[in-house]
Amino acid sequence: MTITAFDGAAGCGKTYSLLGELTEVLQQVGLERHQRVLALTFMHGARLRLNERLDKVDGLRNKFDCFTIDSFAWRVCFRFRCRLREAGVQALNVSDFDNTCELAAMLLKDRSVCSWVSAVYPGS
């Protein structure tokens, strides 16, 4: 599993660097029909800006998902809610971001959950 992260203060070039590296990877590897690029941010405003920029990348239109980290965690938990019930989790509280992220991290330790994420989002 490969994760590429860009960290830094506002205006330091994180998005520029990300888009440059992503463009290079897409040119070298490309995407299968069922694959998408996964982009995660901490804040909703950053997600909106990144979504707008990703939409302009050649060959990527409608082939990416851009989420906040807690939103992606919620999606993983919702998709695998049967596994959570098996683990004794009765209900998801959408507004408990920390718990949702912890539950998603627990699910992502499972090989089949990781396989699903990796099949949809190559390189993740």
- Reported as a single tens digit per residue, the pLDDT across 12-68 is 988 899 899 888 888 888 888 888 899 999 899 999 999 999 998 887 888 999 999
Contacts of residue 4, defined as CB under 8 A and 6 or more positions apart, other chains included, come to 18, 21, 123
- Domain containing 98 equals 37-120
Is 27 within the bounds of a domain? no
**What pLDDT sits at residue 58?**
82
Q: Is residue 85 part of a domain?
A: yes
Is the whole-model pTM more than 0.85? Answer: no
Give the number of domains in the chain. Answer: 1
Handedness of CA 120, 101, 107, 82 (dihedral sign): negative
Number of C-alpha atoms within 13 angstroms, CB side, residue 119? Answer: 7
